[in-house]
Amino acid sequence: MSKACLVDLTKCIACRACQVACKEWNGLEAEHTEFFGAPGGYQNPPALSSKTFTLIRFVEMTDSDGKLKWAFARVGCMHCQDPACASACPVGALSKTAEGAVVYDDTKCFGCRYCMMACPFDVPTFQWESPIPLIRKCTFCADRQGDDAGTTSVNDQPLSEESLARHRDSNRTPACVKACPTGTLKFGERGQLLAEARERMTAEPGKYIDHIYGEQEVGGTSWMYISDVPFDQLGFPTDLGKRSYPSYTSPVMKAIPAVVTGLGLLLSGVYWVANRKAKAGTSAQEDNNQA
Amino acid sequence: MNHEPVKAKFVTPASITLALLMILGGIVAVIRYWQGLGAVTNLSDSYPWGLWISVDIMCGVALAAGAFTVAAAVYIFGGEKYHMFVRPAVLTGLLGYVFVGVALLVDLGLPWRIWHPIIMWPEHSVMFEVAWCVMLYMSVLALEFAPAVFERFGWDRIHGLWRRLVPAFSVIVVAFFTYIMSHSVAWAVVVLVVFAVVAAVVPSLFASRPGVPIILVMVGIVLSTMHQSSLGSLFLLMPGKLHALWWTPMLPINFFLSAVAVGFAMVIFEAMLSARFFGRSLEQGPLAGLGRLLCGALWICLAVRIIDVLLRGELGGAFVSGKGFVFLVDVLVGLGLPALILSSARARESMTSLFTAATLAIVGVVFNRLSVALLGMTIPGKVGYFPSIGEFIITIAMVSAVVLLFTLAAKIFPVFTREEQDGFGLPAAAPRAAGNR
């Protein structure tokens, strides 16, 4: 099973420790921003960019009693099970790893930006100000997924196998998840997290919206959300459907050999008919059999 | 068919103007390479594709379609009376594709990696198909135009070599294309065999024309069909963003059909403009014939678009909101109006209304590509998009370059037919073509 992340938005207090940890781990510059008002939210910076891979969106809303209420949502790459961006990329720069991350290869990309157009969540961003621009987005900390435990010894004492495993697990946890102080973000196996999401929903009936966002959207995503606020009000696209995006284009690509063969036969047939006529010298039909 | 270079001065006020516009574009391009795309464009993370993709590339490819539609009409369907349009159309197609490539070099973030699709083979990517179609069809167009160069310099031996090598090249190209798009050796062999048989059998069965080997024309048509349709397929991945008035599984077919139509429109448009600017006489018969083909193609496009929207139950959307209005303009003004004009035989024989209808059809396709790539999109986020001055300058420079190089090439190479030979519409010269007029 691949790794996934469960986001329980009822626990988020918008401290943005995840946002900061993400910047630190990925070595991203700060952004110069201005105050950003509704309707897109009050967060800062306003949107994902080549310098911001993780963002907490601030949504001001009224609850059922008509009282002012704040809702927060983590915005970033959803790491789709069957990612549109990877199927779009003409040079294979984007791919889904066995561990679950959708990763980008700096050395392959030639900057066509089709991935940005294809992404149903508008996640990939581009380094517009650079003469050597690359696509940037959340990596699901794929660069932390190796076997490196960070250290092998403490106080000159080699670590036990058990401690090493603990260090390794800790290292593999994405930076944002490690930084989250409220347990909003939880990293684990996708199937287990889904089960846990359902448990939480049944344990406290009425607390959550009856929907696990990302369980089925665009064929399922590795990042999944549960919330007490309807997802459309949090600015999540809710009309994406359950069908995986690559399945929209794969029939077209699979049809190519048959279309090429068919066209070859068709054109030859037309040529034969048209030129046989020409030989016979019939002039009844003009060449307006074209369209 | 006898061709000759147009006899006219090379340096004219018009050509100087075009050259200056190109230089202006060059200056903007230098800034773009020096400081990045953000410095000269209004593109953003909300609108990563703008004017260059929708006009320079999407329209550039569509407007180059005359090369394959006229080649099909003449070489495959036997419409000999349209032969005089082939070389100008092939030249336009070639220049169009070259500048699609140039536009990509400007628009791509890392243009020095433009060759990457040659070594990475993700057969699931529509953009990968697009990239290969550009490369392969550009070489087919260059080969189709090559005889004009051979004739100009009297390179008879190279011309002979070309005639012998081109069929094998064509067959290999189409088989190779099939292989990289499917990663299936079996399909590649099937395509190789089918096209090799066609290439071998056709010239021996029929007295082949001295012009272009028929297999090259066929492969050109196949690659064009794939390319025109794949530009539509690109947008299949955007069901959430592209309005349902345009987003349909029929997108590739819509793009192909409208390319066929605009191909005829471009040939009419160009023939009339070059007659005017090169001081050549116009032949009404073949032009009216093209008008008729254009008319048919436009009606088919219109019918397919409307029926598709109706069947999907989205027609209601055409009468609400700005997007609905854009759709109505796209369909009614861009397709319906020129189709209606050309439905009258008298209008097809009037040079003014034929020119008007062809121009409308061209503007209509440009508007359609803009609708799909920009106007029909709903992109979340605060930032809107309107092209910057720099983007306009580059686009204008590209168009200027195509026009300037076309006129230069027409003056250097034998592109247009000899003036005195003007008997195409007449029964004596071409009995087949005289049928119903």
Q: Which pLDDT tens digit goes with each residue over B75-84?
A: 899 888 898 8
Length of chain A: 291
Both tokens of B122, joined, read: 């993700």
Chain A environment of B434 (Cβ under 8 Å): 283
Q: Is A75:A81 a contact under the CB 8 Å cutoff?
A: no
Tokens at residue A288, please? 């307006």
Dist CA B339 CA B296 (whole Å): 8
> Is some CB atom of chain A closer than 8 A to the CB atom of B80?
yes
CA distances from A76 to A95, A238, B173 (A): 17, 16, 42
d(CA B181, CA A253): 7
For residue range B299-354, list pLDDT tens digits in order.
Answer: 999 999 999 999 999 988 889 888 999 999 999 999 999 999 999 989 898 889 99
Tell me what pLDDT residue B427 has.
Answer: 35
Which pLDDT band, with edges at 50, 70 and 90, does A283 fall under? Answer: very low
Residue A21 has pLDDT above 80, yes or no: yes
Contacts of A150 (CB under 8 A, 6+ apart): A167, A170, A171
3-state secondary structure chain B: CCEECCCCCCCCHHHHHHHHHHHHHHHHHHHHHHHCHHHHCCCCCCCCCCHHHHHHHHHHHHHCCHHHHHHHHHHHCCCHHHHHHHHHHHHHHHHHHHHHHHHHHHHCCCHHHCCHHHHCCCCCCHHHHHHHHHHHHHHHHHHHHHHHHHHHHCCHHHHHHHHHHHHHHHHHHHHHHHHHHHCCHHHHHHHHHHHHHHHHHHHHHCCCCCCCCHHHHHHHHHHHHHHHHHHHHHHHHCCCCECCCCCCCCHHHHHHHHHHHHHHHHHHHHHHHHHHHCCCCCCHHHHHHHHHHHHHHHHHHHHHHHHHHHHCCCHHHHHCHHHHHHHHHHHHHHHHHHHHHHCCHHHHHCHHHHHHHHHHHHHHHHHHHHHHHHHCECCCCCCCCCCCHHHHHHHHHHHHHHHHHHHHHHHHCCCEECCCCCCCCCCCCCHHHHCCC
Q: What is the pLDDT of residues B141-184, one digit of tens each?
A: 999 999 999 999 989 899 989 988 999 999 999 999 999 999 99
Q: Which of A249, A254, A266, A277 to mutate to test the interface with B (most CBs of B within 10 A)?
A: A249
Of A129, A249, A254, the CB nearest to B237: A249
Residue B163, chain A, CB below 8 Å: the answer is: no
What's the pLDDT at B424?
43
Residue A33 — very low, low, confident or very high, per pLDDT cuts 50/70/90?
Answer: confident
ipTM of the complex: 0.89
- For an interface test with A, give the residue of B33, B45, B243 to mutate (most A CBs within 10 A): B45
**pLDDT in the model for residue B202:** 76
Q: Give the phi and the psi of residue A57 in degrees, each rounded to 5.
A: -85, 135
* Residues in contact with B146: Cβ distance below 8 Å, sequence separation at least 6, in sequence order: B162
The stretch A193-205 carries a mean pLDDT of 95
CA A113 centroid distance within chain: 15
Nearest-CA distance A39 → chain B (Å): 9
